[in-house]
Structure 1
Amino acid sequence: MNLRRVGKTFIVCVSIILSTGCASAAAVSITPPAPSEPQPQETVVVNTPAPPETTILYEQRLISLEWPEKIRLGDSDRIQVTLEVDEFGNITPTAIYEENQITGEPILIPDLYEAYYLNIEARLDMAGIKIYPAGTTSVNMQKGKTVRLFWSISPKQTGYFRGTIWVYINMIPKEGGGPVIQEVLISKPIEIKGVSVLGMPANVTRWVGFIGATTSGFLGLPFIETLFGWLFRKLVKRYKKE
């Protein structure tokens, strides 16, 4: 038997096994959501505090929500709320990442920027998920400007997490003295799945993948082949003597 050829075969087999294990540990399979039939959207009209006989102009916007379908345990992702001006009603909500879920809804906001401060307020209610910033977050809205709000989220364990995104508009009189008016723009139930690889958090799987890749590369060096061949021949000779 050609011992050198057997030694080479042994080294190649070890390298293939380690490379396969590395790829399996480091990769996460994410199945994209099945395409759904587009549903007609009704335009949400925000009530105005102006007297009924007053002619009110409206600013047409698209409010879109984007959230991840899955998050690996130990990783973080984000949920985003966007209100962008959609004067002609032809904007299509587009996800930043293909695997994310996204929904969009047209909305008419009264053009009261001269008399009122318009403020967008949002809250994410979801148990079992670490949320930052916690509680309510808000931002002032200016005429013709896009508004964005987002949360950074990280699952504490694997499983399904269900919650609701609440978005409000606050109309605050500039002159003072009048009541602050709050209207609900949208309340959207969402679901996120916390996943793991082989029951391990994401940072552990990355280290396993790194170690596997490093070991596989090390075994591919030329002098390693010679070393393993020499060790293999030594073992065979020792076995024959016994």
Structure 2
Amino acid sequence: MPSLPEARTIRLEFSPVMRAGDSQIVELNLTADGEAADTSLYEEYRVIAEARLELPFANVRPADIVSTALGQGGAATFYWEVTPREQGVSRGTAWLYLRLIPKAGGPAGETRGAVSAQSVAIRSRSVLGRTGSQARAMGVVGSLVGLWLGFPFLRTRRALR
């Protein structure tokens, strides 16, 4: 498989810790570092960047391979929404592939190869065994009860002045 003529940087961004029941965005970036000296690859092939996120114990959207065309010096960014199904550590892999499709008159045969496989580990925690939304609801209810119990003391304090 031919390689890209310019140097590229792959960056994977995600939060390693989150609340159980919440979701987060995982982002994978492929960017060019400088200019390419030889541009014949882009003249002979359509270059497509493809990515997939595998997390067995989490819901991942989109679940399938996502792809985008990659031009000379261009960048590709992929996003996934991840929601762990249970508390604990979800381990998986973020895959990045390059697919080269020959243009008319170019060499025959489509090629596809893995460029990067990066490890992903996301720990989901709970508050007293509750999900993030349940813990926030408990906090709102606790605040309302605290206000309701506190108002009689405020009235008594004002009356003493």
Q: TM-score range by the shorter chain?
A: 0.7 to 0.9
Following superposition, the deviation at residue 227 of structure 1 comes to 6.4
SS of match in other structure, 2:142? helix
C-alpha contact 2:34 2:73 (8 A) present in aligned 1: no
* 1:225 is aligned to 2:118: no
**Are the aligned partners of 1:119 and 1:140 in contact in 2 as well (CA < 8 Å)?**
yes
User: What is the CA RMSD across the aligned residues, in angstroms?
Assistant: 2.5
> Do the aligned partners of 1:121 and 1:167 also contact (CA within 8 Å) in 2?
yes
Deviation sequence 1:132-182 (CA, Å, 0-9, x none): 001211111122222101111001111111111111101111117721111
Other-structure match for 1:182? 112
State yes or no: 1:145 paired with 2:99.
no
- When normalised by structure 1's length, the TM-score is 0.57
Q: Counterparts of 2:49 and 2:78 in 1: how far apart (Å)?
A: 9
1:71 aligns with one of 2, 18, 32: 18
Q: What fraction of aligned residue pairs are identical, expressed as a percent? A: 30
Q: Calculate the TM-score normalised by the size of structure 2.
A: 0.84
C-alpha change, 1:226 and 1:169, in structure 2 (3 Å) is closer
Residue of structure 1 equivalent to 2:47: 118
Aligned-pair distance for 1:125?
1.7
Q: Normalized per residue, which structure has more helix?
A: 1
Q: Aligned residues, how many?
A: 154
Contact 2:95–2:117 (CA<8 Å) still a contact in 1?
yes
CA displacement, residues 33-86 of structure 1 (integer Å, 9 cap, x when unaligned): xxxxxxxxxxxxxx428xxxxxxx822221111122012111000211101122
Unaligned runs of 5+ in 2: none
1:127 to 30, 50, 56: 56
Counterpart of 2:143 in structure 1: which amino acid?
A
**How does 1:134-173 map onto structure 2 within 5 Å?**
134-173=63-102
Computing the radius of gyration over CA atoms, which structure comes out larger, 1 or 2?
Answer: 1
